[in-house]
Amino acid sequence: MDKLKERSEVNASDKWQIEKIYKSIEEFNKDYTWVEESFNTLKQLVKKFLNSKEDFSAFFKFDSKISRVIEKLSVYANCKEDEDTANTTYQELSSKIQNLYAKYSEIISSVVPNIIKEDENKILSYIDEDLESYRHMITSILRQKKHCLSSDNEKLLAAFSPVLGSASDTYSYLTNADMKLGTIHDEENKEVELNESNFSRYIRSKDRRVREESFEKLYESYAGVKNTIASLYGSILKYDSINAKLRGYTSSLESYLNPNNIPTALYNNLIKTISDNLEPLYEYFELKKKMLGLDEFHLYDGYVSTIKSIDKKYSYEEAKSIVLDALKIYNDEYIKKLEEAFNNGWIDIYPNKGKKSGAYSTGSYDTLPYVLLNYTGEYNDVSTLAHELGHSIHTYFSTSNQPYETSSYVIFLAEIASTTNELILSDYMYKKATAKEEKLAILNERLDLFKATLYRQTMFAEFEKNAHDYVDSGNIATCEYLNSMYYDLNKKYFGDKVVVDKDIANEWSRIPHFYTPFYVYQYATSLSIACYVAQNLINQTPGFKEKYLKLLKSGGKDYPLELLKIIDINLEDNKVFESAIDLFKETLEEFKNTYLEK
C-alpha cells in the first residue's frame, strides 16, 4: 500500500485551485471583516424593510450582497479544512464561519415572520421589475401564510424547538457513542468488536457464519435499547403531528412536502407504483439464492456479492478519458465545461494525510463548483468522478444562467444530474466491456443501485408514512407497533421466497434518516427521474438533450415539479417510476443472460 503524502507533497496539478477564491488568509479576513462590519447596516435595514418599496428593495439587495460573501467565505474555509483536517489554522477559519452564519441568521430571523404577518397585497406591490428575481422566493414565503400561527405562538414554538428537536441529538449520542455492539468471530475465528463501520464489511462476507453472526449481534444490540429509541422516535412523530395540526395541515406528510409545493399524491404514487411492481425484486433475490447455492435465502445473504471481484485499475487519466467519452452524448457546451473542470483546477484528486474521506461537490455563486475526491483507481472511483461532476456542471449551469436569488436548486432536484451521469457511464462501460466478469460486475453494481435506492428507500418512505399517519390518528407509536409494522414491510418487499428473519424488526431503529422526516423518498424519485433522463439521452430522443440542459440552467427559479415539466415529467402519474422499474428488469435479464454465457 502506498504511503499517504502530506498535503504539502501533493502535486499542484492534482489539487483544486481554491486560491482562485482567496489568494491568502489576509484576503479572506478582509471579506470576513467587511461582513461583520456590515451587520449593523443590515440590522437597520431589517427594522424598516416593510416601511416602503424603497426600504424593501434596499434590504433584499443588501442581504443578497452579504449572503454571497458569506457563502464565498464558507466554501474557502470548508475546502481548506477538508484538505487537511488536522490543520488548526483552517479549523479556526471553519469555526469562524459557523459563528458568522449564526450571527447573520439571528439578524434576519424576523424577516420571514414579518413578511407573513404583513398584508399580502402590500408585499406584492413592492415587487417591481427591479426585484423580479426575488419574486419566487417572496411568493413562496407568502404561500405559507395560512399555515403560520400568531406572532406569540410562533415565538413560543421557536423557543421550545431546541428542546423538541433534541431527540435527534440524543439518538446520535446513543447509537454512535454509548451503544456497544459486542463481539463476533471473523472469518479466521478471531474475536473482533463489531461496530457500524465494520458491520458493512462482515455482512458482505463470503463466510455465511460471519454474515449471520454479525446480523444477529447487531440487531440484538438494538433490541436492547428498543424502548429508548422508540421513545426518541416517538417524540419526533408526536412533535410533527402536533405541529401539522396547529398549522392547519391535513397530515404530517403534507407539512413537510408543502414548502416545495409537492402534493402528497406524488409520495403516495411512488409507494403504490413500487408496491405494485415488486416481482422483479423477488426475482432478483431468487437469482442470488441460486447463484450462492443456498437452500434458504435469509436477509443476511442479501449483501454478499454473487460474482468475482474485478481487480482492474484505472489511472486518473484513463478515468478522465472514459468520463469525457461516455458523456459526449451531451452537447459541446457540456463537454467544454467538463474539460474546463479537468484542466482548470476544479478537482482535488488523490487522498493525502488528514484529507476528508469520501467525495463531494461544493461551490457558491462566486466560486468554481469544486469537487473533492479520494481517487484510488477502482471502477467505483470512475463512477464517483462522473457523479460529482454531474453536480458541479449542474451548479455551473445554474449559477451562470440565473441571478443569485434563483440560482440554488432544491434537494428534490439535486441528485438527478449526478445519478444521470452514473447511469450513462454504466451503460457506456457495459457496452465497451469484453470480458464476461467485467460485464457482470457493471450490471451487478447497477442492480445493487436499484435495490438500495428504488426499492429500499421506498420501503423506508412507506415506514415513515405509516408511522406518522398512525400518530396523526391519535395513536402512540410504541416499540411493539413500530417493530411489527417494519417487519411486515420487510415481508412485503422481500417476498415469500426469502426468510425474513425476526431480528430485522429492529432495523428501523438504526436508520438515522428517520430523524429528518420525509427525506428518503427523494432518493427513489431522483433515481427514477435519472433513469428517464439517461434513457432519453442514450436513445437520442429528438429535442430531449436541449430540454434537459434547459432544466439544468433553471436553478431554483420555480418549484421542482414545475421545472420538471421542462423535460415532460409529471410525477403524479406512473410513467417515470415505471421507466425505472423497466430498466431494473432489463438489467436483471441482461445479468442472467450474461451469467449463463459459456
283 part of the active site: no
Is this structure's pTM higher than 0.75?
yes
Name the residue among 140, 151, 144, 145 with its Cα closest to residue 119: 145
How is 452-507 classified by DSSP, letter by letter? Answer: IIIIHHHHHHHHHHHHHHHHHTT----HHHHHHHHHHHHHHHH-TTEE--GGGGGG
573 or 206, greater pLDDT: 206
pLDDT digits over 511-544, tens only?
999 999 999 999 999 999 999 999 999 999 999 9
C-alpha cell at 42: 443590515
pLDDT digits over 451-476, tens only?
999 999 999 999 999 999 999 999 99
C-alpha cell at 532: 428517464
CATH superfamily of 8-150: Oligopeptidase f, N-terminal domain (1.20.140.70)
The model's confidence at residue 597, banded by pLDDT at 50, 70 and 90, is confident
Decide if pLDDT at 1 tops 70: no
| For residues 18-33, average pLDDT | 97
**Residue 2: predicted pLDDT:** 65
- The DSSP bridge pattern shows strands 297-298 and 498-499 to be parallel
C-alpha cell at 531: 433513469
Burial of 291 per CB tally in 10 Å (0-12, 13-18, 19+) = middle
pLDDT digits over 117-148, tens only?
999 999 999 999 999 999 999 999 999 999 98
- Choosing from 71, 81, 388, 405, the catalytic residue is 388
In this predicted structure, which of 35-39, 307-311, 386-390, 591-595 has the lowest mean pLDDT?
A: 307-311
**Residue 598: predicted pLDDT:** 65
Decide if pLDDT at 6 tops 60: yes
pLDDT digits over 29-81, tens only?
999 999 999 999 999 999 999 999 999 999 999 999 999 999 999 999 999 99
Question: In whole angstroms, what is the distance from residue 595 CA to residue 439 CA?
Answer: 9
**Residue 166: predicted pLDDT:** 84
In this predicted structure, which of 279-293, 307-321, 475-489 has the lowest mean pLDDT?
A: 307-321
C-alpha cell at 286: 431468487
Q: Output 64-68 pairs: Cβ under 8 A, ≥24 positions apart.
A: 64/404, 64/405, 66/35, 66/38, 66/39, 66/42, 66/104, 67/104, 67/404, 68/364, 68/365, 68/366, 68/404
Going by C-beta distance under 8 Å and a sequence separation of 6 or more, which residues neighbour residue 99?
Answer: none
- Domain ranges for the chain, please list them: 8-150, 316-430+523-557
Decide if pLDDT at 274 tops 50: yes
* Residue that has been written with the C-alpha cell 445554474 in this structure: 398
Going by C-beta distance under 8 Å and a sequence separation of 6 or more, which residues neighbour residue 173?
Answer: none
Report the percent of the chain where pLDDT is more than 90: 90
CA 548 to chain centre: 21
| For residues 88-92, average pLDDT | 93
Question: In whole angstroms, what is the distance from residue 106 CA to residue 30 CA?
Answer: 22
pLDDT digits over 316-359, tens only?
999 999 999 999 999 899 999 999 999 999 999 999 999 999 99
How is 539-570 classified by DSSP, letter by letter? Answer: TT-TTHHHHHHHHHTTTTSS-HHHHHGGGT--
Alpha-carbon distance values, 36 to 70, 94, 168 (Å): 10, 15, 32
pLDDT digits over 192-201, tens only?
999 988 999 9
| For residues 360-381, average pLDDT | 96
